Structure formats: structure tokens, C-alpha cells
Structure 1
Amino acid sequence: MRPPFSARSRRWRRACGPATPISSPRPTRSPKPSHERGRPMSATVDLVIRDALLVTPEASRHGAVAVDDGRIVAVGHGDAMPSARRVIEAGGRPLIPGALDVHTHVREPGFAHKETWATATAAAAIGGVTTIFDMPNTNPPTANADAVREKIAIATPQAHVDFGVYGYVGEANLADLQPMAQAGASAFKLFLGSDNPLVPCPNDGAVLDALALIRQTGLRCTVHAENTPILNWRGAQMKAAGRDDLAAHLAQHADIATVEAVQRIALFSEWTGCKIHIAHENCRHALPVIASAKRRGVAITAETCPHYLLLSMDDAERAGGNALRVKPPVREAGHAAALWAALLDGTIDMISTDHAPHPIDEKHRASIWETSPGFPGVETSMRLMLTEVAAGRLTLQHYVRLACEAPARAFGLWPRKGALMVGADADLVLLDLEHRQPIRGATFQSKGKVTPFEGRETKGRAAMTFLRGTCVAQNGQILAPPGTGRSLRTA
């Protein structure tokens, strides 16, 4: 039996942080209110969500949100809202902006047996994620303007949520970087630690030239920051010694490989003025390098992922042994505590997932070197992090900063995305913080069914996910058809 509303509301307030009463019935102001867009608010709007706990990074306030034509048109007291064609009574539950995941591998084109745009974006919608960015290591790689346009064309009729695509940064395609931006790329991806022949690591001279060119586009370059020669050397050593286990994979990806690459790319960013983003940070020894760069004014942001925060090598057996393989690896106990501290002090800016699904047989191979690295994450990230909110590790306000506002700001989408304010896209998530359920890969919308969190009990989930005011998912079920999502550069 569910507890009475008053008891539930008290628990939600504790998780969200102190509620701030709304002092005025007038809607909150925005940098882009509807009247400044030349469109007055309609007498009757499409949607009003009433009696919600509106959670932003700054405050948690009881109130309501009105939506019309896909945008938020009013935020304030429920009695100040216009009439609506649909009214949802939130029952005091938290309402947050839709999350953004700027690190996913949708796999299409080229690897549709692993994932498709339909399955990946359905997983995102179920997970409360309303915007994803797809990495360029598809086949063909997203390495020129035609490939950008092709990927957008493949994604558009399938997508359940909005999406951006990355352009690949390599030695042979420097002349293609700016045309990719013009064709609709939302950001660029540089693989400094790559053994993938589709997206090889460029030499440092090409990297410097690429960053200078990317700076002119105004877009950000996300970096897989590991030292490729160190990885290759250590990997050869492990194989020559007959090592074939998860610990050998970790030894190959030595801490110094990450520290050196982060230091190098931060210096290159400082030299060129290009905005960079450190992907999937997993190493405590790299955190002072990121913090130092920020103090110097380098345009650097960083992410980490739930598997680095919540798992260590101690969990390998429970997580399926070789199935825990991911690049960069889950490290020894001790790194996670430093990553949590970095989230709280701002060294790490955001939560992403590195969503990387594979077929079951590719995750359960006997050899670590033949086991495909990565696993799905976009469907479970919010559930895992809300569980940590319930445990008191962070507040819901802080989670909104990490999962919604920070990625939107870093990638030039705020306040259109990641915001609960007038003029923003009505990408919203109504939470149920009382929902308890173990994670079961077999139930995923994603084609990837192998997760290191199999059986892990979670508390809290996205009860309703709205994309521009349309409810695309509710209580684990997809409601909106494929094609509801749009490209960020054309939406």
C-alpha cells in the first residue's frame, strides 16, 4: 500500500532539498518569453501539469507548468495557469527537465544488429532522457557532411526523442570538419585512445589543426582521453604474458594513459581556444588535471558515468566477469569516491552513460580480448542516480544540474533544453521517487540486454516523459510513435 500523500510529499521534499514557496502567481520570467518570440500565450493551451514539485538546480517549488505548441509558456501557481486541453495532476511529485545524454552509441548505420535509432531512443524515453548525442564510430563513420546528413536521415523517422550527431575528427578529414558543422553535426568526437580502424587516433599535429578548425564552428569537441601508444604497448605485454582476464584489461588501461591524455588535450585546448569535453572520466588521478585546467580558464568540461560511480573491480564476478569490460575500464575501489567528490565540487560537470549495446554473445566470450566493450546505459541511468538521491548521496536539485542543465549549457542548448522556464522546449519528466524495481536487462527497450547492474534494486524512475509537451513514455511503456524526435540542428 502506498503511504498517504502527506507522507510521500515529505519524503520527496527531503530528497529534492528545501522547497521554496512561490511568492507571486505570475509566471517566472525567461530569457526568451513567448511574447518576445512574437507569439502571445493562447487562451487555451495544450497541457497544464498542476500540483508538481518543480525542481531546478537552484530551488524546489510547488507549482504548475503550462505548455503550448511544444514550449513552456507559463510557470507558477496552479491558479495562475490558463485553461488547457489536457490537465495532469502531479500529486506533489517532482517535475524536472528532460535529461540529456551527450554520450551514446546508437550503432546505426552499420551495426543495426546491436542497436537502432528506434530502440535506442525508446530506451532513452523510458529512462527520462529527452535528448541524446550519437557517437560517430558507425559504419561508415560520420566523417563528412554526406555522412552527417545520411545519419540524420536514418534517425529522423525512427527517433522517439531529440538527437544530435557527432562528427569524427581524424587526420584525413580536416577539410570536412566545418562542412560537417554546416550539415548539422552538433559536436565533434576525437578518439585519443582508439584501436578501432574505422575511427583511428590522429597524430598530435592533426589534432592541433583540427581543434583550431573546430573552434571556428563554435561547437565543442568531446575527447576519449587515453594515450594510444601506452594502450598498445601494455596490451601487447599482457597478451605476450598469456594474460586473458578482466584484470589484464585494466592493466592495459593504466592510470597514466588517462592522466597524460587529459593533460595533453587540455593544453591543446588552451592553445587553440577550442571548447573540449572529457568523455567517461574514470580515473581519480586525472581529476586534479581537469581542475587545474578549469582554474586556468580552459574551456573544458567533463563527464562521468554511473558504472564508474557505482562499481569497482570488486564487483566483477557479480557483474558477469568479462561482461564488465568497457573502455575506459571500471577501476579499483577508491576511484569512485574521488569521482563522487568531483561531481560535488564541480570538477566533473555532468552525468552521461556511454550507452554502448552489444548482442549477448559478444558480452559473454571466454577471452577478454574478444569480448565487446561497453553495455547499455541510457535506460537505467536515471533510476540508478535517483536511488543515490534516495540514499542521500546528492539532492535531486544537484542531479538536475548534472543530468539536465550542465550538458545543455556545455553543448550550447540551454535554455532551450535542460530548463524549467518560459520559452524552453517542454521536455519534462514527472518522477515517481517511491517506485522500487530491480534492473532486468531482458526487459530493456535497447537491443543490448547485458548490464553490469543486473538485479540491482533501484528506487525512483521516470513516471512520465514529455518531449515538447507530448508524453512519449509512461511507466515503462512507449506511447509516442517513431518520428516524434527531431534533429537538434533542424528541430
Structure 2
Amino acid sequence: METIADLVIHNGTVVSADTTYAASIAIKDGVIIAIGNAKTMPSAKETLDANGLHLLPGAIDDHVHFRDPGYPHKEDFASGTLAAAFGGVTTIFDMPNTLPTVDSGEVLAAKLEMAAQKAHVDFGLYAVLGATSIERVPELVDVGAIGFKLYMGNTFGRIPSPSTGEMLEGFEAVAPTGKRISLHAETNSIMERREGKLRAAGYSAALDHLAARPEVVAIEAVARAAILAEWTGARINILHISSAGELRPLREAKARGVDITGETCPHYLMLSSEDYARCSGVIRVNPPVREARNQEPLWAALLDGTIDVIATDHAPHSQEEKTRNDIWTVDAGFLGVEIQMPLMLTEIARGRASICDYVRWSAVNPAKIWGLYPRKGVLQVGADADIAIVDLKRNWTIKDTELHSTSKISPWDGRKVQGLPIHTIVRGRFVVKDRTLQAGTRGWGRSVHSIQNMPKPVPLNVDQTTAAVLQKTFHQASA
């Protein structure tokens, strides 16, 4: 019996991490079933002419804050995943600093259920790793955490930063599970002390936030996290790399064989301290946007593989929360999930890197890092049909008020870009078609934890973990 595809896309240019080529793609039951010459494609219920457009694997943004539950005036899972779909993002990982904090199986289960009802795109949910959740690591894994988030420095939500002792014990607990730990790598004690002195002296301008978080807070934190990961065998991911200084401990750890990966964001590549005068408190984010001298080293680190992933740290807030006069009271973060792809494609058009490089950073690498490859992150037979169909030549201007996030304020407003996702397909279904949301896609997204397949864990120094030492001491005392 002849196979009838649900959808065949003709005349597009397919992009991989290695090459681009003209081909048609056939999709059935949410999966790619054929790629090749148009004449070899099966008949289809629906066809799409993608002439002049490029077919990219849907981006995987493994670092967003959709504020749900707890802060619906900033964002919720429906508006956040809607914005993602319009940005060519087909899978997101949401952070645990919501209300309540995701630190137990019960809270995670409730959030998974909520997300499944609202999501337009696929998703993974982080659980927090800290003093309150170390003993709950097994239940959080069982319920469906995609990974763990550890806050070495304070940020929105004021989740307590664990001590180094608590970090080590947390790494010991997660290492045997094979899950990856993403780190907000800033040393809290330095920042708290510096900020306290600045505030006491009456400093409260936008640039004072940068002064409170010097580059060394990130350099020290990355080095310390790498040492603990090396000792325990835990897999770690350094989030939002903002400075050139962090690259040395990251490179050195990779050279030593530590399972460590790194991420940066468009605002660290394209904005600098020179933008503070233009944006004031709107630009406040943790870690801060730094001096322009950091940009070229970060681009070079992406190109040489030191940094693995482009993500957004999408962290929306209301107009009032971003425009307060005292920088210390301005909420940190701003929107990004919808405009990451156009921002990066603009740099690709300028020759900064190739479209293949971009696919590697935005799709292939995150899929591999999080155990989703080859189901996600690639356009090949057998993969989920997660596709961003993009017009690389479309010139337009970012306007915050026209974006789909609940938040309508960012430092990107008015920026001219080149490149726009025209259609976004999630597991074979159009969520956005011709820049229009399709009916019935709310609730189409599903958690990807069920398809996650991480490599076998290799925990180290297991005879010297906190649990092992306590057990040994117990037996000695009993004897």
C-alpha cells in the first residue's frame, strides 16, 4: 500500500550543521519519513512550496523563564511558548524559579501538568538543586526533570545560593543519575558584599549594577564548579557566559575531560556597557551586559567550540518593573525567545559565521547535550519534524509591542534585523503558518523528558561522598 504523507515541503533549502542542500521533506505522524528529490516524495494530504526559504531544525532554547506559576503579569506558559513558536523555537527548557520553586516531585508534577495544557511547543522543566532539594534528587528525576539548575549567585526569585559544601553534596547526588546541572555561575558572596558597599555609598545608576558584578565573580564560579564536577563526575552546563575571562577555566576543564558545556546569549554578543546610557535599567540582567571587549572572544569561543550553545535566558518583566529609577529595585532580565533567531541570522548575513554554525549552536548541540539527539535538533529521516522555515532575506525592525510575549519592554526595541521565521512546525504540525498562529495548538507541546536518553553516568570518588562517609562512620560506630 502506498504511503501517504501528512505534509510534503518542496523547493526549500535544507540546513544541517555541515551543509545546505536543495531537497523536499516528507512528514507523517509527526516524524520525517523522507528527504530527497521532489519526484521521489510520496503523495501527501498537504504540500507547502518553500521556494526561496531555508529549512532549519527548530531551535532548542534550553534557558527560558516563563514565570508560570507565580508571575502571570510577566509571562505564562501559553504566551511564552507562543513567542517561542513565532521565533522558530520548537523546544524550550523552563527554569525552576517560579512560585512555588520546583524543588519537590509534587511541585514538578503539577508544573508538568500545567505546561502540558498550555504549551504550543515542546518543553523540558528544570528542578532546582539546593539545600532543600538534595535529598529529593531521585524523586525529581523519576517525576520528569530534564535537568537541575543551581544558583551560585542570586537573581530573580532570590533562591538561596548553596554553600560550596552544599554544591558538592548536590553534585554527588545528581552524578549517578546522569542528568546535567545548569549553573548560574556567579559567586554570591562577592556580589552581595560589593553591592552592599555601593548601595551604602548612594550609588544607584544602571552602570552600578555592572560594578557590583565584576568579571571575577563569574571566572571564580566557573573554575569552582568545574573542580567539583571533575571530582564527582557530575555533568554541568555553564549558563549565560558573559565575559572573556570565563573562557579560560571552561577551556581548561574541557581539556581535562570534565563533562562541561557552555552557553551564551545574544545580548552578550551584541550589546555592551555602551548601551546602558540608551537603555538605563531596561538592560539590567544577571550576569550583566559587559564591556564591548568581551564580544569578540565570545564569538571566537562559539566558532572554536569552547561555547556550545546559543540560548536566550528569556526573562520577561512588566514595564513598571523595568523602569524604576533605583537600579537595585529593577527586576533583572528581559525577553528574548522570539527574537534570538532573527538576531543571530542578522550576524550570519553579515558574515560573522555560517548558517551551518548557527544550526549547530541552536539545535544540534543542545539536542546532543540534553540527550534528545537524533529525535530533536536535526532534519533527517526518523527525527521529529520540528522545523523553522525561514526567509533569510527578510528585513524588518524589532518592535517590543508587536512581539508575542506578555512583556513588552527590552533593549532590542527598534533594532533592524535580517531573517524571519515564516512557518514553524512542531512534530509535524504547523503552529505558525505564514506568520499566523494556527488554531488548536495550545496544549500541542509535550514534555521531552520521556525521550531523553543521556549517556551512562560515570560518578567519581563515590567512596568519599557525604552519603558514603556517613554510612562508613555508622558502621564503624556500630562495630
Shift of 1:204: 1.2
**Corresponding residue for residue 147 of structure 1:** 107
Deviations 1:24-61 (A, max 9, x none): xxxxxxxxxxxxxxxxx961111111111110001111
Contact persistence 2:35–2:380 (CA under 8 A): yes
Once the two structures are TM-superposed, the CA of residue 472 in structure 1 deviates from its matched residue by 0.4
Given the alignment of the two structures, is residue 235 of structure 1 paired with residue 195 of structure 2, yes or no?
yes
2:156 and 2:331 in contact (8 A); partners too? no
Identity over the aligned pairs, expressed in percent?
43
The one-letter code matched in structure 1 to 2:408 is K
- 2:96 maps to 136
Deviation beyond 3 Å, 4+ runs, structure 1: 195-198
Structure 1 residues 475, 252: closer, same or farther in 2, change over 3 A?
farther
* 1:98-177 paired onto structure 2 within 5 Å: 98-177=58-137
Given the alignment of the two structures, is residue 369 of structure 1 paired with residue 328 of structure 2, yes or no? yes
Cα deviation for residue 476 of structure 1 reads 3.3
Letter in 2 for 1:122: L
Q: Name which of 174, 199, 218 aligns with 1:258.
A: 218
1:345 has 2:304 as partner: yes
Q: Retained in 2: the 8 A contact 1:276–1:299?
A: yes
- Alignment of 1:437 with 2:393, yes or no, is no
Structure 1: which 5+ residue stretches go unaligned? 1-40
Paired with 2:328 and 2:2, the residues of 1 have a C-alpha distance of 59
The amino acid of 2:329's aligned partner reads: E
Kindly indicate whether the alpha-carbon contact (under 8 Å) linking 2:187 and 2:217 is maintained by their aligned counterparts in 1.
yes
Q: 1:476 and 1:104 mapped to 2: Cα distance? A: 22
Instruction: Give the counterpart letter for 1:100 in structure 2.
Output: I
Take 1:379 and 1:197, find their aligned partners in 2: how far apart are those partners? 23
- Does residue 473 of the first structure (1) align with residue 409 of the second (2)? no
User: SS of 1:465's equivalent?
Assistant: strand
Return the alpha-carbon distance in structure 2 between the equivalents of residues 461 and 219 of structure 1.
34
Q: How far apart in 2 are the matches of 1:338 and 1:301? A: 17
Q: Deviations over 1:103-150 (max 9, x none)?
A: 000101111111010000000000000000000000100001011111
Matched with 1:360 is 319
1:300 is aligned to 260
Alignment pair present for 1:286 and 2:252:
no
Tell which deviates more after alignment, 152-161 or 41-50: 41-50
342, 359, 364: which is aligned to 1:405?
Answer: 364
Structure 2 distance, partners of 1:159, 1:427, is: 15
Given the alignment of the two structures, is residue 395 of structure 1 paired with residue 361 of structure 2, yes or no?
no
Report what 2:166 is aligned to: 206
Cross-structure match for 1:4: none
Q: Which amino acid aligns with 2:338?
A: E
3-state SS of 2:447 partner: coil
CA displacement 1:70-99 (0-9 Å, x = unmatched): 011111221111111111111142101100
Q: TM-score, normalised by structure 1?
A: 0.90
- In structure 2, distance between residues paired with 1:173 and 1:397: 39
Q: Are the counterparts in 2 of residues 141 and 198 from structure 1 also a CA contact under 8 Å?
A: no
Distance 2:195 2:27 in 1: 54
Deviation at 1:198, TM superposition (A): 5.1
DSSP-derived class of the 1:433 partner: strand
How far, CA to CA, are the matches of 2:204 and 2:33 in structure 1?
A: 57
Residue by residue over 1:203-250, the C-alpha shift from the partner in whole angstroms, topping out at 9 and shown as x without a partner, is 111211111221122111000000010010100111111110122100
Amino acid at match of 2:243: C
Counterpart-to-counterpart distance in 1, 2:93 and 2:69: 15
Residue 196 of structure 1: CA displacement?
Answer: 5.5
**Structure 1 contact 139–198 (Cα < 8 Å) conserved:** no
Rounded to whole Å, the distance in 1 between the matches of 2:307 and 2:449 is 26
For 2:4, the aligned partner's letter is T
- Residues 183-217 of structure 1: CA distance to partner in whole angstroms, max 9, x if unpaired? 01101000000156652111111211111221122
Question: In the alignment, residue 224 of structure 2 is paired with which amino acid?
Answer: R
How far residue 394 of structure 1 moved from its aligned partner, in angstroms, is: 0.9
Which shifted more, 304-313 or 72-81? 72-81
CA 1:113–1:197 in 2, change beyond 3 Å: closer, same or farther?
closer
After TM superposition, the structure 1 = structure 2 runs for residues 4-83 of structure 1, keeping only pairs within 5 Å, are: 43-83=3-43
How many Å separate the matches in 1 of 2:177 and 2:20? 37
- The one-letter amino acid paired with 1:417 is K
Q: Is the 8 A contact 2:103 2:132 kept in 1?
A: no
Letter in 2 for 1:466: I
Structure 1 residue 157, shift from structure 2 partner: 1.0
Q: CA deviation at 1:255?
A: 0.8
Q: Tell me by how many angstroms 1:475 deviates.
A: 4.0
Matched with 2:471 is: none
Query: Which segments of 5 or more consecutive residues in structure 2 lack a partner in the other structure?
Result: 452-479
Point out the more displaced range, 353-362 or 240-249. Answer: 240-249
Q: Give the drift of 1:486.
A: 0.7
Amino acid at match of 1:48: V
For the 8 Å contact 1:50–1:88, the answer to whether it is kept is: yes
- What is the distance in 2 between the residues matched to 1:112 and 1:364? 19
SS of the equivalent of 2:117 reads coil
1:308 match: secondary structure: helix
How many matched pairs? 450
Q: 2: CA distance between counterparts of 1:475 and 1:199?
A: 41
1:452 aligns with 2:411: yes
Work out which of the residue numbers 239, 258, 271 in structure 2 matches 1:311.
Answer: 271
Aligned residue number for residue 14 of structure 1: none
- Please, which moves more after superposition, 214-223 or 198-207? 198-207
Aligned residue in 1 for 2:469:
none
- Answer yes or no: is the 8 Å Cα contact 2:52–2:391 preserved in 1: no
1:424-463 Cα distance to aligned partner (Å, 9 max, x none): 1000011101211110000111011111111001111111
User: Aligned letter for 2:403?
Assistant: F
In 2, Cα distance between equivalents of 1:383 and 1:93: 14
Counterpart-to-counterpart distance in 1, 2:2 and 2:243: 51
Secondary structure at 2:68's aligned position in 1?
Answer: coil
- Preserved contact between residue 66 and residue 80 of structure 2 (Cα < 8 Å): yes
